[in-house]
Amino acid sequence: MNTYKIICFLLFFIPTTVLTAAAQPAALKPVNSDFFTHVKRIANLKVWNEQIFFTISQPDKEKNNYSSALYQLIDNQPVRIAKDVSDYFFEDNGIIFREPGKELARRDNGNSETEGKENPSTAFLKLSHGYGEAGEWLTLPFQASQIEWIGKDVFFYTSSYNRNPDKSRNYHIYDELPFWSNGRGDVSGRRSHLYFYDKGKSTLLSDTLASVSGLKLSPDKKTLVYTLKPAWYGKQPEGNVLISLDLASLEKKEWNLFDKVSYGNLTFLNNDEIVLTANRSIEHDKIENSAIYRLNIRTGKLTLTDDGALYAIGNSIGSDVGGAGRPEITFDNKGIRFITTDVDYAPLVHLAWDGSGITRLSKGRLSVQEYQPYKDGFLAVALEEQQGAEIYFIDKQGNASPLTAINKPVFDEYNIVKPIEIKYTTQTGKKLNGYVLPPANYEKGRKYPAILDIHGGPKTAYGTVFFHEMQYWANEGYAVFFTNPTGSSGRGSEFSDIRGKVGETDYNDLMAFTDAVLAQTDFIDADRLGVTGGSYGGLMTNWILGQTDRFKAAASQRGISSWLTFSNTSDIGYTFTYTYWGTDIWKNSQQLWDASPLKYADKVKTPTLFIHSAQDYRCWLVESLQLYYALQYFGVPSRIIVFENENHELSRSGKPQNRIKRLEEIKGWFDKYLKND
């Protein structure tokens, strides 16, 4: 071939070869243990003058903490306007937020009781139009929690009070029940008081032994409603009461609407009417969703809008990167709008006043976390399929269009596995479903180990949205399967009521689901199954250990091992135990012991890893310690990892480095006992 022909050959073929190579998609990255640190959480979605605002928070692996900032959506792009903002509101023609990371102090030299003592204050900053640097707006000489503003110098607020305020002591004083609370620490003697602030003067409006929450001010700012835990000393009463307060006279009215009730959401429909949620499980002595009522606080007329039998207010779909949304209620002239949980996703729905039922306002399998009415539709922070949270616009036909791509570029770079639906029938004849994540890049004809992941609650649910821990395990060569057994949210009150059947109906569902997964897939090795779960999922993992040997390894996280100890140590022990068993250890200790995983520890053969947090007061550390102790006693391979300065929320909001360590320990345990090829 002569030189001319060689040059022509190269000119013709080389560019084509280069273009072909460039067109090949880059290899997707595996989802690793720190993937969640790349994911941004969008929250506090608000609209002001038709402008869209929200906060973004993100874990920082190096600093081992979380950052948060305030953003505005401008031309569909998030623009940061203030850092270190977790919540905010609009007032005085600007954006107001608490001054970050700063507690001011003052000296009350005129009061002998507080002479020389430092008292924390509450400072607010203001961003005006054009933004730039925020300036001081208001500094209050006290700690204020919830505030309902009438004006800058006139408002209602709550403030924490502690009968044992000396934080420098090296001891704890308990004289009440509960005496501690997960995420809050010691709560014995702690109350939330209601005050009225009027041009520098604060007036206490609640009993010093009562506790106030849920403040809502009417549109005309003349009436305040709130819920109250009546004054107590010793054992805290269950439920609460509803109070309305007239601003002109500061007179209060207690609404005795039901015998025993826990009020939740309070929202003003207009100046005279409120919509409220009321859970009457205590009165009815069963587990049920909250009902929705409409109350006229002038006439006293109470109207039932929905009994909650099918739909509960709020998103119960679990996620370790998104978080559940706020159960907001808004209105139109025909009814109310709220987020609900429907089996395994969370749509936005409309409930008509006239009793004509529920209408879905969002189509598809969008799991809405927050929403705001906007123009002729809605804005929503939502999770969809296996993507991170984004802001969507939902039009009046229910179609959702993403307005942002805050998380999408990250997710598009990684090997995200899509779930496969599995349908099965329970022993009681219920038709349920669940999902399997195949191992990433699995080879047909090859068998892989698999992990059953059990959700917490039990009154929560797994959805089809992204769950980091499952995707991490799938990228490490495991199939991961999960379902919503009887007792979960999303199928109505009757389905979620498993009183007296914990470890029976739900256990049978989980085993039927496991059978269905093995029958309907061809890539799982039935001899290499693992099981894990946290909280209620940890309880069920512990229970499974003593009931079957089909799982070859287990990772029990923050679970219950004995109902006897749980009921007398957990911050919710005596209420939760009664809710799910209808008894206590003095009335029927045998029933609770028979339902305790610890009773069956002598039958356990499964190598088990325990993960717990030292400050977990929901399921106290003793729950893992005593089962670990038993397995060691009986010679079962076991290991326990205790995280200091973490609580029940380790897997969702713990320090980033501890969250990574947790995932890697679970993977390492399963690798040891399930990966024998």
Q: Is residue 84 part of a domain?
A: no
Q: Is residue 549 part of a domain?
A: yes
Spatial contact of 59 and 66, defined as CB atoms under 8 Å apart = yes
Q: Are strands 524-534 and 420-425 parallel, antiparallel or unpaired?
A: unpaired
Alpha helices in 24-136 (DSSP H): none
Residue where a domain terminates, one of 309, 344, 371? 309
Q: Which two tokens stand for residue 139?
A: 């500094």
Residues marked as catalytic: 535, 648
**Which amino acid is located at 214 in the chain?**
G
Read off the pLDDT band of 119 (50, 70, 90): low
Spatial contact of 83 and 134, defined as CB atoms under 8 Å apart = no
Q: How large is the average pLDDT for residues 26-30?
A: 90
Peptide bond into 373 cis (omega under 30): no
pLDDT tens column, 381-402: 999 999 999 999 999 999 999 9
d(CA 94, CA 70): 14
Q: Is residue 5 part of a domain?
A: no
Kindly report the pTM of this predicted structure: 0.93
- Three-state SS letters, 229-259: ECCCCCECCCCCEEEEEECCCCCEEEECCCC
pLDDT tens column, 548-566: 999 999 999 999 999 999 9
pLDDT at 67 over 60: yes
Residue where a domain terminates, one of 283, 309, 335? 309
Spatial contact of 66 and 60, defined as CB atoms under 8 Å apart = yes
Q: Which two tokens stand for residue 498?
A: 């498993």
Q: Is residue 109 part of a domain?
A: no
pLDDT at 605 over 50: yes
pLDDT at 173 over 70: yes
Peptide bond into 178 cis (omega under 30): yes
Residue 117: predicted pLDDT: 41
Residue 324: predicted pLDDT: 60
Residue 25: predicted pLDDT: 54
Q: How large is the average pLDDT for residues 450-463?
A: 97
pLDDT tens column, 520-533: 999 999 999 999 99
pLDDT at 111 over 70: no
pLDDT at 439 over 80: yes
Q: Is residue 525 part of a domain?
A: yes
pLDDT at 162 over 70: yes
Q: Count the alpha carbons within 13 Å of 119 in the hemisphere toward its beta carbon.
A: 18
Spatial contact of 324 and 316, defined as CB atoms under 8 Å apart = yes
Q: Count the alpha carbons within 13 Å of 42 in the hemisphere toward its beta carbon.
A: 30
Looking at per-residue confidence, does 255 or 133 come out higher? Answer: 255
288 and 426 within one domain: no
Report which secondary-structure segment, H or E, holds 494.
helix 493-496
Read off the pLDDT band of 3 (50, 70, 90): very low
pLDDT at 5 over 60: no
pLDDT at 112 over 70: no
pLDDT at 24 over 90: no
272 and 153 within one domain: yes
Spatial contact of 92 and 85, defined as CB atoms under 8 Å apart = no
Residue 133: predicted pLDDT: 87
pLDDT tens column, 304-359: 999 999 999 999 999 999 766 677 899 999 999 999 999 999 999 999 998 888 99
Residue 326: predicted pLDDT: 75
CATH number at residue 265: 2.130.10.120
pLDDT at 594 over 90: yes
pLDDT at 453 over 70: yes
List of E strands, 108-153: 118-120, 122-127, 135-140, 147-151
CATH number at residue 510: 3.40.50.1820
Q: Is the dihedral of CA 497, 280, 145, 87 positive or negative?
A: positive
Residue 295: predicted pLDDT: 98
Spatial contact of 570 and 618, defined as CB atoms under 8 Å apart = yes
Read off the pLDDT band of 547 (50, 70, 90): very high
511 and 640 within one domain: yes
Spatial contact of 468 and 35, defined as CB atoms under 8 Å apart = yes
Q: Is residue 569 part of a domain?
A: yes
pLDDT tens column, 642-658: 999 999 999 999 999 99
Residue 271: predicted pLDDT: 98
pLDDT at 17 over 70: no
pLDDT at 623 over 50: yes
Residue 164: predicted pLDDT: 78
Q: Among residues of the chain, what percentage have pLDDT more than 70?
A: 92
Lowest average pLDDT, out of 11-20, 171-180, 661-670, goes to 11-20
Spatial contact of 75 and 58, defined as CB atoms under 8 Å apart = no
3-state secondary structure of 637: coil
Residue 677: predicted pLDDT: 58
Q: Residue 631: phi, psi to the nearest 5?
A: -65, -40
pLDDT at 7 over 70: no
Spatial contact of 246 and 223, defined as CB atoms under 8 Å apart = yes
pLDDT at 8 over 50: no
Rounded alpha-carbon distances, angstroms, from residue 80 to 85, 393, 496: 11, 21, 42
DSSP 36: G
Task: For residue 286, give its domain range.
Answer: 144-309
Q: Which two tokens stand for residue 298?
A: 């002038």
Q: Which two tokens stand for residue 423?
A: 């349908």
419 and 281 within one domain: no
423 and 303 within one domain: no
Q: What is the mean pLDDT of the chain?
A: 92
Residue where a domain terminates, one of 309, 340, 367? 309
Q: Is residue 285 part of a domain?
A: yes
d(CA 669, CA 530): 10
Q: Among residues of the chain, what percentage have pLDDT more than 90?
A: 88
Residue 85: predicted pLDDT: 94
Q: Is residue 526 part of a domain?
A: yes
pLDDT tens column, 180-216: 999 999 999 999 999 999 999 999 999 999 999 999 9
Any residues with CB less than 8 A from the CB of 299 and at least 6 apart, and which? 272
Q: Which two tokens stand for residue 86?
A: 């977790």
Residue 16: predicted pLDDT: 33
Q: How large is the average pLDDT for residues 173-179?
A: 95
Spatial contact of 428 and 505, defined as CB atoms under 8 Å apart = yes
Number of domains in the chain: 2
Read off the pLDDT band of 120 (50, 70, 90): confident
Beta bridge partners of residue 435, listed in sequence order: 421, 482
